[in-house]
C-alpha cells in the first residue's frame, strides 16, 4: 500500500505543479498588457501645422549621422522654423530647439529655430542635435519626462554638454 501512496503523492505533485505553471502563465498574460506601454499600430499624423516649418537636407543629414549614438534609432525628422514653437496649449518654447513627442513611439519631431541654425557654430549645432535626439530617444521609449536623471545620463553618454 505504501507503493500506491507514494505513487499517488507523486501524481498529485505533478498535477499541482502543472496547474501552478498554468496559473503563472495565465497571470502573466493578464498582467503583461497592464505593464507594457500601449503602442499605436498605425502612424498617426501629428497635430502640427507644417506650413511654418522648413526641412533642410544638411541639417537632417547632421541629425542622421548622430543616430548610431542612440542605439541605431530610426531617423527623426528635423525642421527649421522662424515661429515660436508651441509646446502644448499656449506654452511657447523660448529656447533654440524643441522635440515634439505626441505619439511617443513613432513620431518624435525636432524643431530648431532658423536664426540659431544660421548663426551657430558646428560644436553648438551638434550639441543641440544630441540634446534633442536624446529627447527623441526617450520619447520612443515612452519615457519623455524632461531633463531628469535618465535624460542627463543618456545626454552625457552621447557626448552632450550643458543641460
Answer yes or no: are the C-beta atoms of 46 and 109 closer than 8 Å. Answer: yes
Q: Round to whole Å and give the CA distance between 76 and 138.
A: 12
Answer yes or no: are the C-beta atoms of 138 and 154 closer than 8 Å. Answer: yes
Q: Round to whole Å and give the CA distance between 108 and 136.
A: 5
So where are the chain's domains? Answer: 1-36, 50-157
Helices (H), the chain: 2-35, 57-65, 114-119, 122-140, 149-157
Answer yes or no: are the C-beta atoms of 54 and 62 closer than 8 Å. Answer: no
For residue 143, the SS3 value is: coil
Q: What is the CATH number of domain 50-157?
A: 3.30.2010.10
Q: What is the pLDDT of residues 13-63, one digit of tens each?
A: 666 666 666 666 555 566 655 554 544 444 444 455 566 688 899 999 999
Q: What is the pLDDT at residue 162?
A: 81
Q: What is the pLDDT of residues 98-137, one digit of tens each?
A: 888 876 556 899 999 999 999 999 999 999 999 999 999 9
Cell 545620463 -> residue: 153
Q: What is the pLDDT at residue 78?
A: 95
Q: What is the pLDDT of residues 65-110, one digit of tens each?
A: 999 999 989 999 999 988 765 555 555 556 889 888 876 556 899 9
Amino acid at each position: 500500500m505504501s507503493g500506491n501512496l507514494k505513487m499517488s503523492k507523486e501524481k498529485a505533485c505533478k498535477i499541482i505543479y502543472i496547474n501552478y505553471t498554468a496559473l503563472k502563465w495565465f497571470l502573466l498574460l493578464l498582467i503583461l498588457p497592464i505593464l507594457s506601454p500601449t503602442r499605436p499600430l498605425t502612424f498617426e499624423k501629428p497635430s502640427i501645422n507644417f506650413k511654418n516649418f522648413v526641412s533642410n537636407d544638411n541639417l537632417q543629414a547632421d541629425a542622421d549621422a548622430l543616430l548610431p549614438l542612440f542605439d541605431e534609432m530610426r531617423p527623426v525628422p528635423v525642421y527649421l522654423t522662424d515661429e515660436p514653437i508651441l509646446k502644448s496649449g499656449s506654452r511657447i518654447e523660448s529656447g533654440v530647439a524643441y522635440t515634439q513627442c505626441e505619439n511617443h513611439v513613432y513620431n518624435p519631431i525636432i524643431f530648431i529655430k532658423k536664426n540659431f541654425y544660421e548663426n551657430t557654430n558646428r560644436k553648438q549645432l551638434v550639441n543641440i542635435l544630441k540634446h534633442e535626439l536624446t529627447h527623441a530617444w526617450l520619447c520612443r521609449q515612452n519615457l519623455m519626462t524632461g531633463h531628469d536623471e535618465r535624460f542627463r545620463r543618456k545626454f552625457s553618454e552621447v557626448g552632450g554638454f550643458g543641460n
